[in-house]
Amino acid sequence: MGVAGINALDLARQLIRRPSVTPEDAGALGILEETLTKIGFRCHRLRFQEDGTPDVDNLYARYGDGAPNFCFAGHTDVVPVGDQDAWSVDPFAAELADGMLIGRGASDMKSAIAAFASAAEAFIAAQSKDFGGSISLLITGDEEGPAINGTVKVLDWLASQGESLDACVVGEPTNPEHLGDMIKIGRRGSLTGRLKVVGLQGHIAYPHLADNPVPRLLAALTALNDRVLDTGNAHFQASNLEVTTIDCGNPATNVIPAAVNATFNIRFNTEQSAAALTAWIEEVCERKAGQHELRIDHGSDPFLTEPGAFTDLVAAAVQSVTGRPVELSTTGGTSDARFIKDYCPVVEFGLVGQTMHKVDERCRVDDIDALAKIYQSVLERYFQR
């Protein structure tokens, strides 16, 4: 726990009680801004917009003016609750039961934000003199959504203001089972393909008068799916392509459809590039799909923070509190670390992620306190270097 009023559990409960389902803020950032302002952070509320997307509120807060600037990044937005009747409690009541904090955002990731605020306060209070740098928080309301008006635009704003980041921890829930299991030091990239194969509608009893696009789509998808992209490398698991939907909207059993659509996604490691994968997909579709339309969306590139001084520092902080050996990993989906890695070294460490996005999302109360101690240890070790 911190001093002078920032109790990580209490702050986490206050944040959870704000139903900040993307893109709504519902007052969550205001609670955090008020808390940080009281301990000397200069706060900037940043609202960004873009045609065709919802406006989003973000927060950048900084304590100190000097370098280096250690940043904690995260998000106050949460995913929808789903079937509210399936929850054992009100998902936005932040109930405590059996040593657990239950609520949407408990693990992903309002408790981590509260833990960092508590850790920053405790670290600042313990300094008898200037600690030789700055501490900042970059908090978005657009991580669970399209991620257009969030972290990426805050980073652009920071650059325009002459602000720089020197190291960053993102508070995503990285641990599979126990606090201290895993630090994420990178992520695979993401590429999505949307393929429409065009044919000619007709009666199935007269196939010579029609052109069925389904076999050509299946041929293209089979060729894409059958290729082993790679077997991974020292830091990344293998790249994989998964077909996520096939649809032609045809309710009739005696009609050859006019067109059929499919969507697939590739999670790719550093053995691949978006350009090379795109060229391969286009070649396969030209060869197998016949008349078709293809759209490829490049979501993100893979990245890696090479194991070294910074990852060792964070790992040592984790082990000092949990006593557990910690794994450096690149597993999982994407996060806003994919944007931050262009500005400074970044790793991810937060709570246990078993219940994120699920009904009765929860985290251990004791883990919130331990996480605050870990974040405080990270700050102490970073500024003692």
- Residues with a catalytic annotation lie at 77, 143
CA dist 87 and 288 (Å) reads 47
Instruction: Tell me how far CA of residue 193 lies from CA of 145, 197, 262, in angstroms.
Output: 19, 13, 8
Closest CA to 380 of 133, 179, 165: 133
- Sheet with 42-50, strands from edge to edge, namely 42-50, 53-63, 134-140, 69-75, 167-170, 346-348, 182-184, 327-329
* DSSP string computed for 282-330: HHHHHHHTSSEEEEEEEEE--EE--SSHHHHHHHHHHHHHH----EEE-
Closest CA to 141 of 26, 290, 17, 266: 26
The structure tokens 């194991």 sit at: 307
Please name the residues in contact with 359: beta carbons below 8 A apart, sequence gap of 6 or more. 81, 82, 83, 86, 87
Tokens of 181: 């299991």
CA dist 46 and 330 (Å) reads 30
The count of residues in the chain is 385
CB 313 within 8 A of CB 377: no
Task: Give the CA dihedral 30, 143, 11, 57, nearest 10 degrees.
Answer: 0
